[in-house]
Amino acid sequence: MTSRDSGKGWRFSGNELQYVREVLESGFASATTGSMNQRFEKAFAERFGVAYAITSNSGTSTLHQALAAFGVGHGDEVIVPALSPVMCGYAVLHAGATPVFADVDAETFLLDPANVSAEITPRTKAIMAVHLYGLPCNMEAIMRIADEHNLCVLEDCAQCFLGKDDQGRLGGTIGHAGSWSFENSKHMSTGDGGIVATNDEVIAGRMRKFGGIGFKNIRASSGQVRRSKDVFQDPKYLRHDSFGWNYRLPEVAAAVGLAQLERLDDFVSRRQCMAARYLDAIGDCEWLKPQKVPPGYVNSYYTFAVRYDGEQARGVSWYDFRKTHMEHGGDGIYSAWSLIYNEPSMRMLNDEGKYFQDLPARGDSYKGFLDRVDCPVAETLQPTLLQFTTNQVTEEQMNVQCAALQRAISDLGK
């Protein structure tokens, strides 16, 4: 095996170094003066068929930018799936609003449109549709609900690159905005980073300004801050015409992103290939229930997620099954994150109105905000989930994982 095939550097063995070198040779441009962010944004928008793409320093930042651009703020509610990484809840808090947790579907593990409807109140402003594990939510139903109630929809595609719904639409291009993360574990990575896309010029302009410290010259289509050095260096010149955060992506990271994007189809199809092999290995096993992909949908398989029913069916705990799989050479299987509202940080905010243990409470606005939570499906599903890795590179590595799973299954008996 050569390092290009399977070594740690494999993921970054395309044009990454060349583009990074271009940034350094330009004198290490910033996000506001260089061109790499613009190149990356343009290429991403073209690949996904959207009008505007705006780079950011993380997927959490993009979620915050999008919610703020929707006008979400204090007193508003945003519907978020209970089963998702905590950042989805945090982004709503960052926007000053209240996350309202909706239950998920027992088979697709995704936001259930019926439960979204059930959580709508006069304060609801937006829905965060998380395309968990790489599979798009039922966007047709979610958009219908949103239209009925005049809500904005944010698609969190941190785990979903090139996933499609049954109409062939790419996840992230259906709602009012779509957001991706380039954190290290995702399909493509810039170390840390993110991008947010929309076809709406007003929302694009706001997202960019919020993430770009509100510089006056920022436009929906450009993060360039300086128009002319002479104008900029005038003591009377006023730079900022709106509020914002600094969520800019460094040029070096954008250079890596541009090169990663060129190889995205390959990254996705490798993960899909590994998932197909796992599906094959599971076959008709009664106590392993892979994430259901509804007809016509395309799952981009950030991970291969499976509901484990072996505890009831075979009397073998989740932990022991994982151990068996690993003893046969399987990768460490990941568990699902705790439900967002069960994280101690969320409980502390609910119980004491505190963001930090050693800082005073900040008013009562969040006290009791979890009182109405009712997500029985997510509660029973979360502890049973097995998240198999899909980032194998070579045929040989894929074979090892399949063989391990097959042996673990036959140890317990199909």
Ligand X SMILES: *Cc1c(COP(=O)(O)O)cnc(C)c1O
Output 247 or 287, the one with its CB closest to ligand X. Answer: 247
Q: Which CA distances in Å does 81 have to 201, 213, 389?
A: 28, 30, 23
* Least gap, CB of 239 to ligand X (angstroms): 28
* Least gap, CB of 241 to ligand X (angstroms): 28
Output 72 or 88, the one with its CB closest to ligand X. Answer: 88
Backbone angles phi, psi at 335, to 5 degrees: -90, 165
Distance CA 35, CA 30 (A): 9
Distance CA 177, CA 209 (A): 15
Output 59 or 250, the one with its CB closest to ligand X. Answer: 59
* Least gap, CB of 105 to ligand X (angstroms): 16
Catalytic residue among 125, 186, 216, 289: 186
Output 88 or 213, the one with its CB closest to ligand X. Answer: 88
Place of tokens 């770009």: 212
Task: Give the residue closest to ligand X by C-beta.
Answer: 59
Q: Which CA distances in Å does 281 have to 38, 97, 107, 290, 297?
A: 44, 44, 19, 11, 21
User: In 3-state terms, what secondary structure has residue 93?
Assistant: helix
Neighbours of 161 (CB within 10 A): 27
* Least gap, CB of 229 to ligand X (angstroms): 34
* Least gap, CB of 301 to ligand X (angstroms): 13
Q: Are 408 and 325 in contact (CB under 8 A)?
A: yes
What does 304-342 look like in DSSP terms, one character per residue?
A: EEEEE-HHHHHS--HHHHHHHHHHTTPPPPEEPPPPGGG
Residues that bind ligand X (CB under 6 A): 58-60, 84-85, 87-88, 130, 156, 158-159, 181, 183, 192, 194
Residue among 97, 98, 102 at smallest CA distance from 83? 102
* Least gap, CB of 297 to ligand X (angstroms): 17
Output 336 or 373, the one with its CB closest to ligand X. Answer: 336
What are the tokens at 77? 């509610």
> Is there a catalytic annotation at residue 354?
no
Q: Are 163 and 156 in contact (CB under 8 A)?
A: no
* Least gap, CB of 88 to ligand X (angstroms): 5
What does 117-173 look like in DSSP terms, one character per residue?
A: HHT--TTEEEEEEE-GGG----HHHHHHHHHHHT-EEEEE-TT-SS-B-TT-PBTTS
Output 86 or 402, the one with its CB closest to ligand X. Answer: 86
Does an H or E element contain 79, and which? strand 77-81
Question: Which positions are catalytic?
Answer: 186
